[in-house]
């Protein structure tokens, strides 16, 4: 399984910190998460993704079992 970690607004939209999905492309996994958590669709256009700690915007990238994907919404803050 692939672990999807939700942060900030993504966590608020899903109501959970993480979930498990079947291996697939990044785009397919994100799509499956949106079906499961429809509120996620509103924030995804502003999100970035880390795959095993490395940034990726390639939705066609295949995600293998055991991989971890972090869903990172835009963060506000600073001085």
CATH of the domain at 24: 3.10.20.30
Burial track 31-68 (b if 16+ CB lie within 10 A, e otherwise): ebbeeebeebeebbeebebebeeeeeeeeeeebeeebe
For the entire predicted model, the pTM comes to 0.91
Residue 79 within a domain: no
Give the residue numbers spanning the domain of 53: 2-72
Q: How many CA atoms lie within 13 A of 2 on its CB side?
A: 23
Query: What would the mean pLDDT of 41-68 be, rounded to a whole number?
Result: 95
Q: How many domains does the chain have?
A: 1
Residue 78 within a domain: no
pLDDT band at 16 (very low <50, low <70, confident <90, very high): very high
Residue 77 within a domain: no
Query: What would the mean pLDDT of 42-54 be, rounded to a whole number?
Result: 94
Query: What would the mean pLDDT of 17-36 be, rounded to a whole number?
Result: 97
Return the residue matching tokens 């993504």: 10
Return the residue matching tokens 């996620």: 40
Residue 60 within a domain: yes
CA distance 74 to 8: 9
Residue 6 within a domain: yes
């Amino acid at each position: 399984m692939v672990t999807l970690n939700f942060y900030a607004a993504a966590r608020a939209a899903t109501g959970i910190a993480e979930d498990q999905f079947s291996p697939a492309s990044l785009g397919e996994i994100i799509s499956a998460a949106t079906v499961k958590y429809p509120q996620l669709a509103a924030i995804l256009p502003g999100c970035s993704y880390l795959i095993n700690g490395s940034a990726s915007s390639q939705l066609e990238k295949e995600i293998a079992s055991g991989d971890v994907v972090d869903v990172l919404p835009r963060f506000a803050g600073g001085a």
